[in-house]
Structure 1
Amino acid sequence: MTQTPRTADAALKSLARPMRLTRMGMVAERATRAFWPLSTVLLLILAALAFGVQDHLPAEALWAGLGLGAAAALWALVAGVRRFRWPSSAEALARLDQTLPGRPITALGDHQAIGGGDAGSEAVWRAHLARMAERVKQARAVRPDLRVSGLDRFGLRYVAATLFITSVIFGSLWRVADVAVRPGGPEAALASGPAWEGWVEPPAYTAKPTLYLNDIPAGELAVPEGSRVTLRFYGEVGALALRETVSGQDAASDGMGPSFDITRAGRIAIEGPGGRGWDILLSPDTPPIVAFSGEMQRKADGEMNQPFTASDDYGVVSGLATITLNLEAVDRRHGLTAAPEPRDALVLDLPMPISGDRQSFDEMIVENLSQHPWVGLPVSIVLSVEDAQGQPGRSEALATTLPGRRFFDPLAKAIIEQRRDLLWTRANGARAASILRAVSFQPEEVFRDSSAYLRLRVAIRRLEAGVADGLTPEARDEVAQALWDIAVLVEEGDLSDALERLRRAQDRLSEAMRNGASDEEIADLMQEMREAMQDYMRQLAEQSQQDGQQQAENQDTREITGDQLQQMLDRLQELMEQGRMAEAQQLLEQLRQMMENMQVTQGPGGQQSPGQQAMDGLAQTLRDQQGLSDEAFRDLQEQFNQNGQQGEQGEGEGQQGQGEGQAQDGQGGQQPGQSLAERQQTLRDELNRLQQNLPGVGGAEGQAARDALDRAGRAMDRAEDALRGDDLAGALDDQAEAIDALRDGMRNLGEALAQQQQNQQGDQGEAMGRANADQQRDPLGRDRGAQGQIGSQEDMLQGADIYGRARELLDEIRRRSADQQRPEAELDYLKRLLDRF
């Protein structure tokens, strides 16, 4: 039998350190498995004592609990000692050997059983031992398995550890010693001597923890104002006494449970055995701070956005924005010369963060005060906030003009100005009524919508009646609301014709640029013009699809694509953003002329589609209804005419208007000698006929058109009943509602027809449009010349920023010339360009 080679002995010697570490791990593993019940019992006992259970149990219960705990700990100790076995070196070596492939440690201790005298067999055996020795050198210490989940199925060790950690954080380990001093709790304190406990609870808004006075040594103690002090005295009554000067009462207390609030700096002293004293200092609680953090921003619809910032050491609770009229800065002219009626300050709640920290935050006041009487007048805005203690904080006054909706239409501006004067003081009622009558003297020159004119006349009559009877605040506010609605109607309009709406949007935008409107207002008006442009182009597209052949034969028709319009609008917005208003006005005028030159033709051969026939019929009904409403208004004026002359004139005008209605080749079917009620009934019958012959259009627009026409029919029925009852004022309101509903129906029907036409011919039209566009382009994408030749002599930069484009080209040439990795020929060419330009 061969002996173990020296290499095997050296390999076994290298196992000393891994085996030692493995053995230590086995000790820890067996100790954990044996003594985890003991550690669980000890942690539970310490946690209970640290939480002060001994102070709330009678002596018998406390001793019984301690006895049970001691018995459980003794049992766990005895069971652990019996279970624990100290690991031997052989056990550690065997565990280490199990982690290596082929059990090399055991193999090194083996001897060759056969073939001892054979040289070849011995050579194989030595090679085997050498391989095992190499594996032994790779041995590493085995990690211990400290898991005892199989033994502790209910996780009692985790419960004990959690309770112990909680007691260390929220309790006091020093209280464990109280068991030796007063093991019976409060009852034992009576026999062993006086004792005390105390807590200082800061106010909840400070979010600071409660202080346990027994753990705080004598000296200075800083606490927030309003903190609650609670003391508990145990033992003989009168053995301990309290002296304090922080509650404002300067009174001593020797009771069992004195409690008081700290309202000022002073001293708290517990006199008697084991007593202690503290000099109380109040922690500073600074007042909150609030200030404006940016300029006020105003949107086109009058919405006000005012940023502000607020901060406090503990947190802001609430805040207000108080707006007062700066009467000294008001330009006291026209309707503002009279003394204003007293009005309360305008108070707004400041927005507060819903979640998060309120110690320091930035917020935005977002309000729309367009209908307030002080809009456009100088005001003063002051912000105020409070903290939880009630301390106030105020900002500096911000002098500004109260923002509101801006009106660009001269008529709407006049109505809003009289509304402001009326709200300034009721003494301006007669003056406002006279001015409004003067403004509406010739309605055909200033009103685009007869319903707005009729509503204004009704508002004037209510105002004059109120002035005659003594204008009350309620009547004043009712008239002011009516004037606001009329001004909005005049400003925005309710136009069914796309071209008229487009012109209106262009006028509003031009007026805004001339008056120096804000960027937000210009942006909103620009968006309004884009939408009006899209509606107009959709109408043109629908019409061109109906009569494409006739429009193709018309050589004078101005053609423009949607992309070109979009480029012009983008260029217009770019000029306005750059502040180049003169160029923007010029481009807007060019756009206006271009749209006016565009022609809208009818279908081939003069034949109209059913949709177009329905639109024409509704338009004629709308005109007839407007004329009938005008005659009803003239008849209403006759009722208030005292001398009768104006009545005769109104009757003549009515007969003239009636004669004109008879002469029209409309679809109303008016007959000579019909009364207003009968003519209203004729219009209602014509609307019923048009509703029955409406083309079959679906979608939301089609349903909206039908609903609007139904609403118009019901309003016509009510107007007819009012006319038969000689209630002209009520009939005017119902007729105005019918006019509005007819306009809504026409607009929705037009959108439905356009959508239906696009769905039917959209794909084919796009393909034909692309083919025609490609035929009009040369290989380089340029428009062909007038005679079809390749190339063009037109200005390639027309309508663009020529100088800006030139700068961009020059910068690009310089950038490329600085790139030395480009070919030499290209660099020479770029250099020649730079030398030339």
Structure 2
Amino acid sequence: MSTFTPNDLRNSMAKLRWPLRLTWAGMLAENLVQALWPLMTVVLVVLAALMMGAQDSVSVEVVWGGMILAAICFVMALVYALRRFRIPSRTAALERLDASLPGRPIQALLDDPAIGAEDDASMAVWRAHKSRMAERAAAAGPVKADLRVSDRDPYALRFVAVLAFAVALIFGSVWRVGSVAGMGPIAGGLADGPVWEGWAEPPRYTGRPTLYLNDLDEGPLDLPKGTLITLRFYGEVGALTLAETVSGRTADLPAASDAAQDFAVVQEGTIAVEGPGGRKWDVTMRPDAPPMVDVLGAPDVAALGEMRLPFSSSDDYGVEAGEARFVLDLTAVDRRYGLTVDPDPRDQIVVPLPMPIAGNRNAFEENLIEDFSKHPWANLPVKLSLSVLDAAEQQAETVPQDMILPGRRFFNPSAAALIEMRRDLLWSKSNAPRAAQVLRAVSYRPQDVFSSDTTALRIRRLIERLEIRTRYGLDDEVQDELAEDLWGLALELEEGVLADALERLRRAQERLQEAMKNGASDEEIAELMDELRRATDEYMRQLQRQQAQEGQQEQQQQQQGESMQMTQDDLQRMMDRIQELMEEGRMAEAAEALQQLQEMMENMRVTEGQQGQGGKSPGEEAMEGLADTLRDQQGLSDQAFRDLQEQFNPNAQAGENQGNEGRNGGQGRGESHEGQGQGQGQEQGEGEGQGQQQGQNGQTPEGGEQGEGFGKGEEGLAQRQQALRDELRRQQQRLPGQGTPGGDAARDALDRAGRAMDQAEDSLRDGDLAEAIDNQAQAMEALREGMRSLGEAMAQEQQNQQPGQGTAESDRRADNRDPLGREQGNNGPSSSDGPLSMGPGGAGRARDLLDEIRRRSGETERPEEERDYLNRLLDRF
């Protein structure tokens, strides 16, 4: 049994020396905080008030009252501190340290046995007990002090005092504390003479700090224009006087000996405090330059009339606000027809200029975006002027410049007539009778002008209302209501609400022809071309549905040569050619090409999905095209990843970068660095579309050589990315399944993929390979999601087809079913490739598995061996 001697006790207590001292120090800090927090709160609050100059903002009586209150609070806090504060004893510290240990070992070490001192066995047990207690005491550490006083300060007054003092340190001045000495009933400072204080406060918009003049020596003083000078004289009246020439005041001048002096700096000069302790400064004024504003160019007008006007503005301290004014240039108006009469008085157009939301406004460029299509002055000459204002209320204005107020143009003749009558009606109320007559003439034969009886009835009611109001008086409210009705009717005639796709297609072609005749802008041409593309796509889908319902495909296959065949790709190429001709200004050739397109559309039949294309349905072709696009995008992403690796290892040669797929001798999905490697695109079959173009020659979707385009830096990668984006756009235009949930989901996913490809192209052109790889990964994920949604739509369509009522493929599948209606596979009932062997939902699970393999193969952070294995699975299945 171990023994415990008095020497062991001394050693154990010696080990507790520093933990005991630190515990005692913590108890001392704890007592100080708990006793002195009211006193420190009072001191910090009083100092903060004096440093912020509160004594200079109130009367002397209030200052005296505050000093008395502060003194009472100080005494009470001091009494509280004296009563609460106690210096902790060593015994108390030892007690706290002992209480923090299990079993209170320190007290056990100091105890002596009460009985059994003569019994050796009992003493042996006692010494063993002390030995264990000594081991516990050796692990003692200082006890943390409890500095919380929230139970004594429930309203957190101490934190309020600390915050006020911090604000005073930042925005106040320590020198202001001394000014309170001269406000007492017996001012010791006055025995030596009068005193003064002064401040120079620049305007807030300059961002310059306030200057305490007592801290400044005599000499030059540079102040911004508008700086407020505040001076206070204390002591005998007349002992201190002011002499200044910076305010420019000539009338109602206060006496030079007034105790309070306030004035602003508006010119250069001097400021002098004359008398005991006076000073003099030579003030140089920093002028506030007026703002500047300028129009950067002609307004950019969108197809629907929205205007984008670029402008720039600057100021030395920042522009506060601005506005644009449009004034009708009556002398430049072509005063014909409804514009021959004098216009009704109308206020000028005033719109605020947009200001930067973040950052400074010292110099910036912005765009004024407005739509004035509904304004009576739309498409009429106006004078434009921009004006801006700075914080000093200085204004700058541009020279008025002539322009045509942008507005929407209407190409439908009936819609244009309604808009012209609307303009005449808003131009002057005296035009109301003439407008009613013209509208009656336009609607004389409604069946030749309006496409529906509802539209004809609305225009007839509007004419009657206009004639009645003209007879009994036309007020402003009715004038605005009639103008709004005319606008709605014109939009209906221009845009159309027709449900028939062929009629909408013809209307889009007519609008485009009118636009070419009237010299429409590029934006309007682009908008009308988009409308023509949408109408063509809708007409193609309607024609396909009609052919499927009437069973005309077999008959049309036997009548080749009797009618013109066109695919959707042919239509897209023709419309691209028309748009290109119009953008080049070759309107005659564009009109001729548009006429040829109209003639072809009259005798067109759809060839997509017919025999001669390998017997594949539109859905299967779309899936193959998307798979090719996904594979090419994967190869492009690998190429970008390899280039990114070489940025961190520029000395790498062929094959030196570990995990660098596609190097010479490797089997990467992309291209070799030397431009002669083989990618996955070479393993494509002879399907149509992009996969057909990627044959043994390794061509891109645009027909260019991969070996030539790859490996030429980020610009070459950007061109490949742009080619992929164009190919995806063509695939979107002929994507089947519109109107179905799966088809719509596939289109949404491909839209996201297209946006990610655009972002990847921009990143590649900027040289940001890491960002480009992230965007390419998003594009691939969206492509996979689109393929999955399209597959679900195709599966749903196949389930909806009944045997013997659909296509030949449906009839063939109907013959290959067992007596229970289940497909048997290609090799009979025992085949393992039919849905029967896969179980319920087997096709969906197979697609999900294939999508998961594609996703994992595109994750570049996976090991090279795993990705090679996944790629071999994709090549096989």
**TM-score, normalised with respect to structure 1:** 0.54
Partner Cα separation in structure 1 for residue 579 and residue 529 of structure 2: 16
Match of 2:200 in 1: 200
1:184 has 2:215 as partner: no
CA deviation digits over 1:489-548, x for unaligned, max 9?
65346768775455324533565589665457744774698589879999999x99xxx9
Q: Letter of the aligned partner of 1:302 in structure 2?
A: G
What residue is the counterpart of 1:668 in the other structure? Answer: none
Specify the code of the residue in structure 1 equivalent to 2:352.
L
Q: 1:16 to 1:585 in 2, by over 3 A?
A: farther
Report what 1:142 is aligned to.
143
Shift of 1:131: 4.1
Go from structure 1 to structure 2 and tell me whether the alpha carbon gap of 1:94 and 1:425 turns closer, same or farther (over 3 Å shift): closer
Match of 1:264 in 2: 267
1:371-386 map, 5 Å: 381-386=384-389
C-alpha distance 84-370 of structure 1, shift in aligned 2 (>3 A)? closer
Contact kept, 8 Å, 1:572 with 1:588, in 2: the verdict is: no
Bigger mean CA deviation after superposition, 523-532 or 175-184: 523-532
Q: Deviations over 1:650-708 (max 9, x none)?
A: xxxxxxxxxxxxxxxxxxxxxxxxxxxxxxxxxxxxxxxxxxxxxxxxxxxxxxxxxxx
Quote the residue 1:604 is aligned against.
none
Which residue in the other structure is 2:350 paired with? 348
Which residue number corresponds to residue 24 of structure 1? Answer: 25
Note the alpha carbon deviations across 1:105-135, whole angstroms, 9 max, x for none: 2333345677878888777666654543443
Distance 1:373 1:46 in 2: 66
Q: Which amino acid is the alignment partner of residue 20 of structure 2?
A: M
Match of 2:245?
A: 245
- SS of equivalent residue, structure 2 residue 260: coil
Partner of 2:393: 390
**Hey, what's the Cα distance between the residues in 2 that align with 1:61 and 1:441?**
88
How far has the Cα of 1:268 moved from its partner? Answer: 1.3
Cα distance 1:332–1:175, how it changes in 2: closer, same or farther (>3 A)? closer
Indicate yes or no: 2:280 matched with 1:277.
yes
Question: What is the letter of the counterpart of residue 245 of structure 2?
Answer: T
- SS at 1:258 equivalent: strand
In the TM superposition, what whole-angstrom CA distance separates every residue of 1:306-325 from its partner, at most 9, and x where no partner exists? 35454444443332324578
Residue 173 of structure 1 is matched in structure 2 by 174
Q: Which amino acid aligns with 1:359?
A: R
> Is contact 1:307-1:363 (8 Å) kept?
yes
Q: Which residue of 2 aligns with 1:13?
A: 14
Q: Which runs of 5+ in 2 are unaligned?
A: 471-478, 558-566, 582-589, 608-795, 816-824, 827-857
Paired with 2:67 and 2:180, the residues of 1 have a C-alpha distance of 10
Query: Structure 1's 520 and 107: CA in aligned 2 closer, same or farther, altered over 3 A?
Result: farther
- The C-alpha deviation readout for 1:197-255, integer Å capped at 9, x for no partner, is 33434445556665443454444444332233333333333222211111124788333
Letter in 2 for 1:300: A
Contact 2:540 2:606 in 1 (8 A): no
Which stretch of structure 1 is more off in the superposition, 42-51 or 102-111?
A: 42-51
Please tell me the residue identity of whatever aligns with 1:198.
G
Q: 1:13 to 1:406 in 2, by over 3 A?
A: same
Q: Aligned equivalents of 1:483 and 1:160: distance in 2?
A: 68
Asked if the contact 1:244–1:266 (Cα under 8 Å) also holds between the matched residues in 2, the reply is yes
- The residue identity in structure 1 corresponding to 2:361 is Q
Contact 2:228–2:265 (CA under 8 A) maintained in structure 1? yes
Instruction: Assess if the C-alpha contact under 8 Å between 2:508 and 2:535 holds in 1.
Output: no
* Structure 1 match to 2:320: 317
Residues 242 and 254, structure 1, Cα contact 8 Å, conserved in 2: yes
Q: Secondary structure at the match of 2:198?
A: strand
**Residue 271 of structure 1, CA deviation:** 0.8
Q: Is the 8 A contact 1:502 1:533 kept in 2?
A: no
Q: Does 1:776 align with 2:807?
A: yes
Contact 2:26 2:145 in 1 (8 A): yes
Of the candidates 394, 405, 409, which is equivalent to residue 406 of structure 1? 409
Relative to structure 1, the CA distance from residue 83 to residue 275 in structure 2 (aligned partners, 3 Å threshold; closer, same or farther) is same
Mapped pair 1:234 → 2:242:
no
CA 351–571 in structure 1, closer or farther in 2 if over 3 Å, else same: farther
Give distance in 2, aligned partners of 1:337 and 1:58: 71
1:263 Cα shift? 0.9
Residues 452 and 486 of structure 1 are in contact (CA less than 8 Å); yes or no, is this contact kept in structure 2?
A: no
Shift of 1:826: 8.6
Matched, 1:109 2:110: yes
* Structure 1 residue runs without a partner (length 5+): 467-475, 560-566, 598-764, 785-789, 792-814, 832-837
Task: Rate the CA distance shift 1:521–1:8 in 2: closer, same or farther, 3 A.
Answer: farther
Q: CA deviation at 1:488?
A: 5.4
Residues 400 and 417 of structure 1, relative CA distance in 2, 3 Å threshold: same
Q: Paired residue for 1:84? A: 85
Residue 225 of structure 1 corresponds to which residue in structure 2?
Answer: 225
Partner deviation per Cα, 1:263-292 (whole Å, 9 max, x = no partner)? 122221111112223333334533334455
Say if 1:527 and 1:150 are closer, same or farther in 2 by CA, change over 3 A.
same
- CA distance in 2 between partners of 1:178 and 1:505 (Å): 84
Please tell me the residue identity of whatever aligns with 2:309: Q
Aligned to 1:99: 100
Per-residue CA shift, 1:122-159, capped at 9, x if unaligned?
A: 77666654543443333221121223344445655455
Q: Equivalents in 2 of 1:316, 1:164: separation in Å?
A: 35
- 1:368 maps to amino acid: D
Tell me how many residue pairs correspond in the alignment.
611
Alpha-carbon shift at residue 21 of structure 1 (Å) = 1.4
Q: Which residue, 276, 286, 289 being the options, matches 1:286? A: 289
Aligned residue among 294, 299, 304 for 1:301: 304
Q: Matched residues in 2 for 1:307 and 1:156: separation?
A: 55
| 2-structure distance, mates of 1:826, 1:52 | 77
| Aligned 1:262-661 pairs, distance under 5 A | 262-291=265-294, 296-323=299-326, 347-352=349-354, 359=361, 363-370=366-373, 381-394=384-397, 402-410=405-413, 490-492=493-495, 500-501=503-504, 503-508=506-511, 518-519=522-523, 522-523=526-527, 526=530
Cα gap change, 1:106 to 1:144, in 2 (>3 Å): same
Go from structure 1 to structure 2 and tell me whether the alpha carbon gap of 1:399 and 1:102 turns closer, same or farther (over 3 Å shift). farther
Amino acid at match of 1:348: V
CA contact (8 A) 2:803 2:810 kept: no
The change in CA–CA distance for 1:579 and 1:494 in structure 2 (over 3 A counts) is closer
2:3–2:131 Cα contact (<8 Å) kept: no
Report how far residue 40 of structure 1 moved: 3.9
Change (3 A) 1:150 1:780: farther
Equivalent-residue separation in structure 2 for 1:24 and 1:828 (angstroms): 72
RMSD over aligned CA atoms reads 6.7
Conserved 8 A contact 1:59-1:188: no
Counterparts of 2:543 and 2:318 in 1: how far apart (Å)? Answer: 59
Q: Distance in 2 between matches of 1:4 and 1:139?
A: 21
Please list the CA deviations of residues 35-70 of structure 1 after superposition, one character each: whole Å capped at 9, or x if unmatched: 344434444554555455666889898778757755
CA distance in structure 2 between the aligned counterparts of 1:113 and 1:80, rounded to whole angstroms: 44
Report the Cα distance in structure 1 between the residues aligned to 2:412 and 2:266, rounded to whole angstroms: 63
In structure 2, how many angstroms separate the alpha carbons of the residues matched to 1:397 and 1:56? 50
Contact map agreement 2:529 2:579 (CA 8 A) in 1 = no
The structure-2 alpha-carbon separation of the partners of 1:358 and 1:159, relative to structure 1 and needing over 3 Å to count, comes to closer
Cα shift readout 1:546-584 (whole Å, capped 9, x = no counterpart): xx9xx768899999xxxxxxx969995997599567899
Q: For each residue in 1:797-835, what CA deviation from the matched residue of structure 2 results, as whole angstroms up to 9, or x when unmatched?
A: xxxxxxxxxxxxxxxxxx99xx8877799989999xxxx
Higher relative contact order (CA 8 A, sep 6+): 1
Relative to 1, partners in 2 of residues 1:352 and 1:281: Cα closer, same or farther, differing over 3 Å?
Answer: farther
Q: Conserved in 2, the CA contact under 8 Å of 1:60 and 1:184?
A: no
State the SS of the aligned residue for 1:105: helix
